[in-house]
Amino acid sequence: MNVLLIGSGGREHALAWKLAASPMLTKLYAAPGNPGIAREAELVALDIADHAAVASFCLEKKIDLVVVGPEAPLVAGIADDLRTAGIKVFGPSKAAAQLEGSKGFTKDLCARHNIPTAAFGRFTAAEAAKAYVRDRGAPIVVKADGLAAGKGVTVAMTEAEALAAIDDCFSGAFGSAGAEVVVEEFLDGEEASFFCLCDGTAALPFGTAQDHKRVGDGDTGPNTGGMGAYSPAPVMTPEIVERTMKEIIEPTMRGMAELGTPFSGVLFAGLMITSSGPKLIEYNTRFGDPECQVLMMRLKDDLLVLLQAAADGQLAHMSARWRDDAALTVVMAAKGYPAAPEKGSVIRGLDNAASRGVEIFHAGTAERDGVIIANGGRVLNVTAVAATVTEAQRLAYEAVDRIDWPEGFCRRDIGWQAVKREKA
Ligand code: AMP
Ligand code: GLY
C-alpha cells in the first residue's frame, strides 16, 4: 500500500515509525513531515490546507490510505474533501470532528445520551456566564468553546479567577475560539487518556495513557500540549475500561450515527476517574501528542492493517494486542515554552542518545546544513519501553542526558504517579 501521512509533530513521527514497520507498506509519504519522519518516509512539501492539492497528489501517487495526524485539517474538512475525490482516509469528517472542535457540541451530545460528564452551561455573553459562576461558586472550570491548542481552559480555584477567565475569553484572548464559553463543574479524581479506533459503527479500545499537562515539575506552571506521558494508565483497570466503553464511548458512537455523522478515526477520551466512576472531560478526534508515542512503542499489531480496517468499516472483528511492558516519553522543549519558545538552537548527540528500547521522536525540529535545530515549542520526545514505568523512566532520562542541547529543557518527574505506585 502507498500511504500519505499528514502532519509534522512527534505524534506523526511515532505513527510513521510504526507504519514503516508494516509488511503491507509499499511507500510512505509524509506532508509536511520533519527531519525525524524523513528517516521513515519521503517528505512532500504539500500545503495541507489546500485540500485539492493534497487530493491531486494522492491520485498521482496512487495513495491507498491517507492518515491524518493533527486536528486542524480534520476540523477544516480534509477527510470529506479527500473522500469526495475517491481517496480513502483514516480520520473523521468535519461534522464528526466537532467532538473536538466544539466543546458545546460534545456537551449537548452527552446531555442527550446521559453520558457522564461535568455539569455545564454554554454562554455567548460574559454577564450570563458570570452569573452562573457566582451561582455555583469555586472551584469551577472556564473553557473557550473552540480549538485553542490546549490553552483555552482555566481550572479556577477562586471565583475571581473564573470571572477573569470569562473576561479573557470574551475579550478575544483565544480569538474566535472564545466567542462562546463553557463553564463547568470541577471534577475531582485522577485523569487518564483513553483511545478507541472507530469505523463509524464499531469502537475498538486502543490503549490508555497518562499525560503531564503542566510545564513544571510537580505539576506546576502553565498548561502545555503535554510534557510527557506513559502507558498503560494504572487507573484504567479492566472494570473502568468496560464502564468507559458502555457508559461513554458506545453511546457516543450511537449518538453520532443518529445525527447522520458517524465517527470514524481515533476517538481520544480525556477522562476523570472519580469516586463514582469515569467521567468525560473532553474528546479529541485524533491521537494524543505525546500519548501516541507511548502507544506506538507498546502496540504489537500492524498499525497499517488496523487503520485500514477503521477506514473500511471493518473493525468489528479486529483486536489490538499490546506488549505487557510500560512505555514512557519525556518531551524536551525549547526554553521559553509554552509562552515564547526560542527557535534555531543546535541539537547534538541524537545518534548517540538512542539505545535498545529507546526511540527519539522528532516533534519540532528542522535541518539546517546537515545539523538538527529546534524549530518549535516541543522539540523531541525521548521514548522508552521497559518492564516497569520506573525502568522506562530511567532509560528515557539516561537518553535525555546524552543529548547535547543546552537551550532545551524537560520535566524530570514524568511518570511520578506510576513510579510511586510501583514503589508502594
Ligand atoms: P481540556 O483542554 O478540556 O482537556 O482541559 C485541560 C485540563 O484542564 C484537563 O486535562 C484537566 O486537567 C483540566 N480540566 C478540564 N476540565 C475539568 C473539570 N471539569 N474538572 C477538573 N479539571 C478539569
Ligand atoms: N497530550 C494531549 C493532547 O494531545 O491533546
Which range among 70-84, 144-158, 407-421 shows the weakest confidence by mean pLDDT?
A: 144-158
CB-ligand 2 contact for 284 (6 Å cutoff) = yes
pLDDT per position as a tens digit, 305-331:
999 999 999 999 899 999 999 999 999
pLDDT > 70 in the chain, percent: 97
Using CA atoms, how far residue 335 sits from 328, 331, 360, 397, 407, in Å, is: 22, 12, 19, 18, 6
pLDDT per position as a tens digit, 12-53:
999 999 999 999 999 999 999 999 999 999 999 999 999 999
Task: Give 151 Cα–ligand 1 centroid separation in angstroms.
Answer: 11
The answer on pLDDT for 415 being more than 80 is yes
Question: What pLDDT does 102 receive?
Answer: 85
Question: What pLDDT does 173 receive?
Answer: 72
| Nearest Cα residue to 99 out of 288, 273, 306, 262 | 262
CA distance linking residue 331 with residue 18, whole number of Å: 19
Question: What pLDDT does 218 receive?
Answer: 95
| Nearest Cα residue to 166 out of 189, 211, 136, 191 | 136
Question: What pLDDT does 152 receive?
Answer: 79
Question: What pLDDT does 395 receive?
Answer: 98
Task: Give 226 Cα–ligand 2 centroid separation in angstroms.
Answer: 6
Contact 144, 152 (CB under 8 A): yes
Contact 207, 301 (CB under 8 A): no
The answer on pLDDT for 177 being more than 80 is no
Contact 48, 6 (CB under 8 A): yes
* Dihedral, 42, 46, 51, 52 alpha carbons, nearest 10: -100
Tally Cβ neighbours within 10 Å of residue 281: 21
The answer on pLDDT for 223 being more than 90 is no
How is residue 195 written as a grid cell? 483511545
pTM (two decimals) = 0.94
Residue 239's φ and ψ, nearest 5 degrees, are -65, -45
| Nearest Cα residue to 155 out of 165, 169, 140 | 140
Pocket lined around ligand 1, Cβ cut-off 6 Å: 118, 141, 143, 150, 153, 155, 184-187, 191, 213, 270, 281-282
The answer on pLDDT for 175 being more than 80 is no
How is residue 220 written as a grid cell? 506546576
Q: Quick one: which ligand is closest to 283's CA?
A: 1
The answer on pLDDT for 103 being more than 90 is no
Question: Mean pLDDT over residues 223-239, rounded?
Answer: 95
The answer on pLDDT for 294 being more than 90 is yes
226's torsion region: left (phi>0), alpha (psi -120 to 50) or beta? left
pLDDT > 90 in the chain, percent: 91
Tally Cβ neighbours within 10 Å of residue 39: 11
Contact 358, 399 (CB under 8 A): yes
Q: Please tell me the total number of residues recorded for the chain in this structure.
A: 424
pLDDT per position as a tens digit, 2-23:
999 999 999 999 999 999 999 9
Question: Rounded mean pLDDT of the chain?
Answer: 95
Substitution candidate for ligand 2 out of 71, 266, 284 with most atoms within 8 A of CB: 284
271 forms beta bridges with: 192, 280
pLDDT per position as a tens digit, 347-391:
999 998 988 899 999 999 999 999 999 999 999 999 999 999 999
The answer on pLDDT for 150 being more than 80 is no
